[in-house]
A = this chain, B = another copy of it.
Amino acid sequence: MDAPQRDMRFRLRLYFGDDLMFGPGKADLLQGIADLGSISAAGRRMEMSYKRAWMLVEAMNAAFAHPLVDSVRGGPSGGGARLTEAGIAVLAHYRALEAIVLQAGAAQITGIEAMLKQDMSSGR
């Protein structure tokens, strides 16, 4: 009997009262800004509009005591953005939480997976 070999993924969304939802989209956007040094480039990588990427950054900056993203619109260097210390910390907490789901939750996830029909997905 083969062990299940599925493409398991998960999405974890955190809601803090009515003020902030923080989940994989915002985490990936922060990651993109860290990687690419630009809000619009980070949005593009996620196939997200420039407007939406800015809106998400503004929502995060408004919800946290210190902004997560430091940005310059335009300017001599053509603008740019980077994560602040707070942004780096929030992203690190979220990524650590994702890792905990996979590690501490492995037995539960495997428990569900093992009960799935075995012939589904196998050809994909």
Which residues does A use to contact B, with CB under 8 Å?
6-20, 22, 62-66, 86, 89-90, 93-94, 96-97, 100-101, 104-105, 108-109, 111-113, 115-118, 120-121, 124
CB atoms of A90 and B104 under 8 A apart:
no
| Across-interface contacts of A113 in B (CB, < 8 A) | 16
CB atoms of A109 and B64 under 8 A apart:
no
| Across-interface contacts of A22 in B (CB, < 8 A) | 112
CB atoms of B101 and A100 under 8 A apart:
yes
Complex copy number for this chain:
2
Contact pick for A100, options B7, B17, B90, B105, CB 8 Å? B105
Q: How far, in angstroms, from A105 to B99 measured CA to CA in the complex?
A: 9
Contact pick for A10, options B14, B62, B66, B121, CB 8 Å? B14
Q: Can you offer 26 A-B residue contacts whose CB atoms are under 8 A?
A: A7-B15, A7-B17, A8-B17, A9-B14, A10-B13, A10-B15, A14-B109, A14-B112, A16-B116, A17-B120, A19-B117, A19-B120, A22-B112, A63-B116, A63-B117, A65-B115, A90-B115, A93-B108, A93-B109, A94-B108, A96-B108, A97-B101, A100-B101, A100-B104, A100-B105, A104-B104
